[in-house]
C-alpha cells in the first residue's frame, strides 16, 4: 500500500533533521580531528567537542594597568574611558571574547581575560595608543572621504579617484619628501603584495621616519604609507557635526572637524600644500591609530589655518566615533603594568554544577508534568527535548572555536529558560490536538488541524522571544549578552525542532493502533477528553455516574439552536433536566 502524503511529509522532515544533525556533527568532528593533528593548521586550530567557558566559570588572567601621559601627568576620566575602548578594540582584534575591561580609581585599568592569553595579546594590551598622519604612497582602494579647510579657506570638491599605476620595480633616486614614490623598495613591494589584512597579528610596525605597510580597520584595503608627517599629539580638538560651506551654510552631511596646535598647524600646512597638487591616491593622507588606518581622506585644498574638515559618507555615529578616535587616540598614553596574575573563576565549577542541576530539575519537572498530563504522549516531549539539546550543544561547540564564543553562567541560564520555551511549544500543539478530538475529529485529522492552529501560536510566541533576545543583545552589557545569545539561539532551534521533529512524530504515531484507537494511557483518549460530537446533531448518550455524563452536558452546551429545535430541546437542555437513566430524554 502506498504511503499517504502526511507520512511522506513526516519522513521527509525527519530526513532533513537527520541531515542537519549529521552536518553539524561532521563539521565539529572533522575540525576537532584536524585540530589534534600536528600536521595541519588553520581556522580549525582551536576546535573541540567541549564548549569554551567564560571568565566567570573558567578563570583567566588579570592585568592591572596604570595609564599616564608621556609627560607624567595623570589622565582625566574621559581620557581613561577612551583608553578602555582602545584596549577593548585591541583584545577583540586578537580574537578573545568575553573579556572584562574596567576602570579602577582615577588612573587604573583592570583587564580580565578568559584562559591564558598569548604573548602577542599581552603586548597589544600594554602598548601605548599612538596616532599619526602619513601620506599614502600606494593603494588600490578608492576613498569616499575628503579633507578641506574650515572657515575662510572653504572646502573644495572631492578629487575624482583614478586607480594608481603598478608599483615600480626599484626606486630610481633617494626620496626627497614623504610622498616620494622612491620610498617603495623591492622589499616593501614584496611585503605589500603578500600582506594579509585578515590576519590579526599581521600588523607591521615601522619607525616614524620609515614607510609602513598596513590595512584599514575593516581589513578590506591595504596601503603603503610614507613616513610620519604629523603626530596625533598636535591635535588640539576633534568634534563631529553638520558640515558647512565657505558661506557658513549647512550642507546637510555629517563631518569631523579638526583643530591643530601651533606645531600641528605648521606641519599640516606643509603636507596639505604638497598633497593637493598630486593625483590619487598620492593626494591622500592616512590617519593611523595603533598601526591601523582609520581613514584616508583625499586632500581638496591647502589648509593653512590649522582647522580641517573631513567629509564623506558619515552618519552621526560614525562621525562621532572618528572624532573620538582623533581626540583621544591622539593622546600619547602609556600603560605601566602594575600586576599580571592568574585569577580563579569568580563563580567556579560549584556554581556551574549548581546551574546544571537546576536545569536538570527543571527538565525532570517538565517530564513529570508531561507524563501526568499526556501519558504515553510524553515520550514525544522527551525525544523533542533531547533533539533540541543535541542541536544546541553542537551549535555552541562550533561557535566556541569559530567565533570564540564562551559559555558564561548567564548563557547557562538562557539554556535553562529554553527548556520552558520548548515545552511551551509542545503543550500548545498537544492541546490543539485535544481540542480537535473533543470536536469529534479522528486522530490523524486532529493532528493536521491542530498543527495549523498551533503553529501560528508557536510562531507568535517565539517571535516575541526572538525580538526580546535581539533587543537584550544589542542594548545590554556583556554578561546579559550571553543570556540573550543563548535565548536567541534556542528560540530558533525550538522552531526547527517542533517543525522537523515534533509534528512529523505526531503524524507517524497517529497511524499506530495504540494512539489511533485512543488507548486510555495514550493521552489522546476521546472519552477521557470529553469528545462528544459525532456528526451533525449527533452526540453520545450520557451515562449516569460515568464519564459520559460530563460528555452529555458538554454536548448540550455545544448544540446550536437549529440542533436543539431538531431534538425538541429549544427551551430546556439535557443538562437542566433531571437524569434518571442512561438515555437521552
Can you give the CATH number for the domain in which 80 is found? Answer: 3.30.70.3400
As for how many domains the chain has, the answer is 4
Q: Does 502 share its domain with 469?
A: yes
Q: Is residue 50 part of a domain?
A: no
Q: Is the pLDDT of residue 579 over 70?
A: no
Whether 522 maps to a domain, the answer reads no
Residue 160: HSE in the Cβ half-sphere, 13 Å Cα cutoff: 1
The reply to whether 12 and 151 lie within a common domain is: no
d(CA 393, CA 48) in angstroms, rounded, equals: 12
* Residue of higher predicted confidence among 358 and 274: 274
Gap between the Cα atoms of 328 and 128, Å rounded: 12
Q: Are residues 105 and 252 in the same domain?
A: no
Question: At 52, is the secondary structure helix, strand, or coil?
Answer: coil
**Co-location of 456 and 547 in the same domain:** no
**CB-hemisphere CA count at 13 Å for 323?**
23
Judgement on whether residues 199 and 173 belong to the same structural domain of the protein: yes
Domain span holding position 456? 5-36+346-516
Among the candidates 264, 297, 312, a domain finishes at 312
Place of cell 604609507: 225
Whether residues 178 and 285 fall in one domain? yes
pLDDT at 571: 45
Strand 298-299, strand 145-149: pairing: parallel
CB 148 within 8 A of CB 285: no
pTM, to two decimals: 0.59
User: Are residues 239 and 99 part of one domain?
Assistant: no
pLDDT 10s digits, 198-219: 765 555 677 888 899 998 887 8
Q: Report DSSP state, residue 498.
A: I
| 46 domain-assigned | no
- Could you tell me if 272 and 308 lie in one domain? yes
Q: What is the DSSP letter of 479?
A: H
Task: Answer whether residue 291 is part of any domain.
Answer: yes
Q: Are 222 and 135 members of one domain?
A: yes
Alpha carbon distance, N-terminus to C-terminus of the chain: 46
Same domain, 362 and 493: yes
Establish if 366 belongs to a structural domain. Answer: yes
Domain closes at, from 475, 492, 516: 516
26, 140: one domain:
no
Tens of pLDDT, residues 360-404: 888 888 889 888 888 888 889 899 999 999 999 999 999 888 877
* Same-domain check for residues 77 and 174: no
Mean pLDDT for all residues in the chain: 79
Q: Is 341 helix (H, G, I), strand (E, B) or coil?
A: strand
pLDDT > 80? residue 244 = no
Q: CATH number of the domain that 431 lies in? A: 1.20.1640.10
- 438/290 Cα distance (integer angstroms): 70
Give a yes or no: residue 504 inside a domain: yes
pLDDT band at residue 541 under the 50/70/90 scheme: very low
| In the predicted structure, residue 270 carries a pLDDT above the cut 90 | yes
Distance in angstroms (rounded) separating the CA atoms of residues 386 and 77: 51
In a domain, 211, yes or no: yes
Within a domain: 43 = no
Amino acid at each position: 500500500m502506498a504511503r499517504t502524503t502526511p507520512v511522506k511529509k513526516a519522513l521527509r522532515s525527519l530526513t532533513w533533521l537527520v541531515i542537519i544533525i549529521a552536518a553539524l556533527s561532521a563539521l565539529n568532528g572533522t575540525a576537532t580531528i584536524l585540530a589534534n593533528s600536528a600536521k595541519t593548521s588553520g581556522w580549525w586550530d582551536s576546535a573541540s567537542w567541549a564548549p569554551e567557558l567564560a571568565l566567570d566559570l573558567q578563570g583567566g588572567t588579570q592585568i592591572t594597568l596604570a595609564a599616564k601621559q608621556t609627560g607624567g601627568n595623570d589622565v582625566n576620566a574621559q581620557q581613561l574611558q577612551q583608553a578602555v575602548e582602545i584596549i577593548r578594540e585591541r583584545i577583540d582584534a586578537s580574537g578573545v571574547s568575553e573579556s572584562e575591561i574596567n576602570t579602577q580609581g582615577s588612573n587604573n585599568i583592570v583587564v580580565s581575560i578568559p584562559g591564558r592569553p598569548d604573548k602577542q595579546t599581552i603586548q597589544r594590551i600594554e602598548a601605548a595608543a599612538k596616532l599619526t598622519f602619513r601620506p599614502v604612497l600606494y593603494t588600490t582602494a578608492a576613498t569616499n572621504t575628503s579633507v578641506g579647510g574650515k572657515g575662510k579657506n572653504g572646502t573644495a570638491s572631492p578629487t575624482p579617484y583614478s586607480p594608481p599605476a603598478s608599483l615600480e620595480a626599484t626606486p630610481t633616486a633617494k626620496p626627497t619628501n614623504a610622498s616620494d614614490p622612491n620610498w617603495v623598495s623591492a622589499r616593501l613591494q614584496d611585503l605589500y603584495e603578500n600582506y594579509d589584512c585578515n590576519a590579526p597579528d599581521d600588523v607591521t610596525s615601522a619607525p616614524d621616519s620609515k614607510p609602513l605597510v598596513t590595512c584599514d580597520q575593516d581589513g578590506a584595503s591595504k596601503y603603503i604609507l610614507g613616513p610620519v608627517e604629523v603626530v596625533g599629539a598636535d591635535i588640539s580638538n576633534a568634534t563631529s557635526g553638520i558640515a558647512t560651506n565657505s558661506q557658513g551654510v549647512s550642507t546637510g552631511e555629517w563631518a569631523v572637524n579638526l583643530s591643530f596646535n601651533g606645531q600641528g598647524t605648521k606641519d599640516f600646512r606643509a603636507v596639505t600644500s604638497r598633497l593637493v597638487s598630486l593625483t590619487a591616491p598620492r593626494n591622500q593622507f592616512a590617519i593611523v591609530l595603533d598601526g591601523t588606518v582609520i581613514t584616508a581622506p583625499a586632500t581638496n585644498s591647502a589648509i593653512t589655518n590649522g582647522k580641517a574638515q573631513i567629509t564623506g559618507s558619515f552618519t552621526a555615529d560614525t562621525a562621532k566615533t572618528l572624532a573620538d578616535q582623533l581626540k583621544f587616540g591622539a593622546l600619547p598614553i602609556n600603560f605601566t603594568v602594575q600586576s599580571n596574575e592568574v585569577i580563579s573563576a569568580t563563580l567556579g565549577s560549584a556554581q556551574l554544577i549548581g546551574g546544571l542541576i537546576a536545569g536538570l530539575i527543571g527538565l525532570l519537572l517538565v517530564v513529570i508534568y508531561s507524563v501526568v498530563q499526556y501519558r504515553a504522549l510524553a515520550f514525544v516531549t522527551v525525544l523533542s527535548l533531547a533533539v533540541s539539546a543535541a542541536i544546541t550543544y553542537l551549535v555552541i561547540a562550533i561557535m566556541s572555536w569559530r567565533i570564540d564564543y564562551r559559555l558564561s553562567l548567564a548563557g547557562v541560564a538562557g539554556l535553562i529558560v529554553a527548556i520552558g520555551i520548548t515545552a511551551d511549544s509542545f503543550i500548545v500543539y498537544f492541546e490543539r490536538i485535544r481540542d480537535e478530538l473533543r470536536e469529534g475529529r479522528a486522530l490523524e485529522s486532529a493532528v493536521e488541524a491542530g498543527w495549523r492552529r498551533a503553529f501560528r501560536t508557536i510562531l507568535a510566541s517565539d517571535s516575541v522571544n526572538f525580538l526580546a533576545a535581539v533587543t537584550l543583545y544589542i542594548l545590554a552589557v556583556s554578561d546579559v549578552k550571553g543570556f540573550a545569545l543563548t535565548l536567541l539561539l534556542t528560540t530558533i532551534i525550538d522552531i526547527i525542532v517542533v517543525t522537523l521533529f515534533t509534528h512529523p512524530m505526531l503524524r507517524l504515531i497517529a497511524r499506530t493502533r495504540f494512539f489511533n484507537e485512543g488507548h486510555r494511557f495514550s493521552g489522546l483518549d476521546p472519552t477521557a477528553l470529553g469528545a462528544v460530537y459525532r456528526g451533525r446533531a449527533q452526540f453520545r448518550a450520557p451515562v449516569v455516574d460515568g464519564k459520559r455524563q460530563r460528555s452529555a452536558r458538554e454536548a448540550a452546551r455545544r448544540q446550536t439552536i437549529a440542533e436543539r429545535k431538531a431534538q425538541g430541546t429549544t427551551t430546556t437542555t439535557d443538562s437542566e433536566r433531571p437524569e434518571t437513566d442512561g438515555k437521552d430524554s
